[in-house]
Amino acid sequence: MARSIVQIVALTLLVACGNSKVMTRQDYYTISVGTSTQELINRYGTPYSITNRKDGTQEYLYIERIPAAEVTAEQNNYILIVKNGQVISKKTTYELPPAYDEIDDEDPNDVPN
């Protein structure tokens, strides 16, 4: 019985990992104004976040993390502005993680002797 439970849990985790959807830069460029939110969710899954803005629109954020070895080398943020269930605007930003030798360094500009 315990073995069956472990097998079911393992299978569930494999299926969950295999169905993850990620928006890529190429995907982002194919999204046009007027695309429905349902179509976005069907294609790319649930956004990382949905923010309600003061002007009555919503901001859908999708994130693409580009790995290098075991760390994130670059992060692309795809922001879709939605009103009445349709994309009305979009923008993208990207982030680079700090250099590892600067993460815990008190003074990253200090030159060792």
Query: Residues 41, 43, 45, CA angle at the centre, nearest 5°?
Result: 45
Of the two residues 109 and 80, the one the predictor is more confident about is: 80
**Is pLDDT at 14 greater than 50 in this prediction?**
no
The chain-wide mean pLDDT, for the chain, equals 80
Which tops the pLDDT comparison, 100 or 17?
100
Average pLDDT value for residue range 35-52: 95
Quote the pLDDT of residue 12.
Answer: 47
Q: Tell me the pTM.
A: 0.68
Domains delineated in the chain: 21-98 (3.30.1450.10)
Other C-beta atoms closer than 10 Å to the C-beta of 62 total: 24
**Is the pLDDT confidence value at 34 over 70?**
yes
